[in-house]
Amino acid sequence: MPTAVALVVATAVALTGCTAEVEARASVGGGARKAAAAREAATARAAARKQRGAVTAALRRLVTGGEAPGAAALVRDGGVARFATAGVADTRSGRRIERDDHFRAGSVTKTVIAALTLRLAGEGRLRLADTVEKYLPGLVRGRGNNGRKITLRQLLTHTSGLFDYTADPVLARQLSAADGTTTHSPASLIRTALTHRPDFAPGAKWGYSNTNYVLLGMIVERVTGRPYGAEARRRVLAPLALRDTSFPGTRTTLPDPHGHAYDARGDGAWRDVTDLDPSSAGAAGEMISTLDDLSRLLGSLLRGKAVPKAALRRMEDTSASGGQYGMGLFPVRLPCGTTVWGHNGQVNGSYALAVATRDGRHTLVYRLNSDGPPDPDAETALLTAEFCPAR
């Protein structure tokens, strides 16, 4: 009969042998797992390449379809950024669009103005249930327009019924024929809108109108005593470190670096409209930005970093518009069932779209160096390529 010491030794030997066998099996299993992981990584890389190729192909389609001389897109997904471009930024030199080029963002301006208005509401400086008349007494009157019946909430959601001043035929002809140096005051734009009867009673329907956001800019100035652009910089842009985004006012030039902006002349040629007094767009669309800044703006906003979460919920609430528009944001429903949120912008010589998933972690911003508008199918193809990749 073995002694106790012998039992311990024998047990130890047995355990040692058992461990070696398990390690051998684990080594084989580990190799299989590593191989599987390598295959998965290779598959993911191939899918990413295919996705990037689809995005680039969609950009090329926007250019070759005649919407613009050039197009560019910036994607951020999980901390990884991808930049793609097609066509040219300058039809004379052939220079391509660069990632840090400045351009006019058009109505993406409304996203910032809405966030600014909601921040002021959160501070108690104004209330969304207040009427336009309270802040701009006597301004919105005549031809059935009545600022005493229109609330700030209705301005934000485009349910005021006010006529869109950009649809005024006289002003439209002036803007298209001008050399881009004519200055328009916000009050003059509102007076143009008020020469028309409202499209519907306040709150009765939804109708996109730039007039609404020009009024919001005027209200911000009345409440704060400062230009809306300065307040947007202080309360929205600066906290997010968006240093390449600006409100130019009447400045006609773009900051460096930048490419050129074009309007179609109708004879197959492009008219250079890079220098432009953006005051006719005002708080509805004067902002200048970059792909990176717009990506960070939208991602930060949807993650609750630009406005409090309660205010963000208001921006995403589309109940007043029948699902079409919130406050400075609207949903884009893609064929695969995915919904992204953001805003587009169109101004002389420039078109931009900035969208993101609801959590703000996957963004796509793209731009054309003409006002387009882009082929809707080509734009949908671009968004689908990024947010609905083939599996």
Contacts of 82 (CB under 8 A, 6+ apart): 52, 55, 74, 75, 76
| Long-range contacts, 355-360 (Cβ 8 Å, 24+) | 355/298, 355/383, 356/298, 356/299, 356/302, 357/302, 357/387, 358/302, 359/302, 359/303, 360/298, 360/299, 360/300, 360/301, 360/302, 360/303
Contacts of 123 (CB under 8 A, 6+ apart): none
Q: Where are the alpha helices (DSSP H) in 123-168?
A: 132-135, 152-157
Q: Tell me, yes or no, if 107 is annotated catalytic.
A: yes
Q: How far apart are CA 70 and CA 82, in angstroms?
A: 17
Q: Which of 27, 93, 107, 300 is catalytic?
A: 107
SS3 category, 260: coil
- Amino acid identity of residue 195, one-letter, is T
- DSSP bridge partners of 72: 85, 367
Catalytic residues: 107
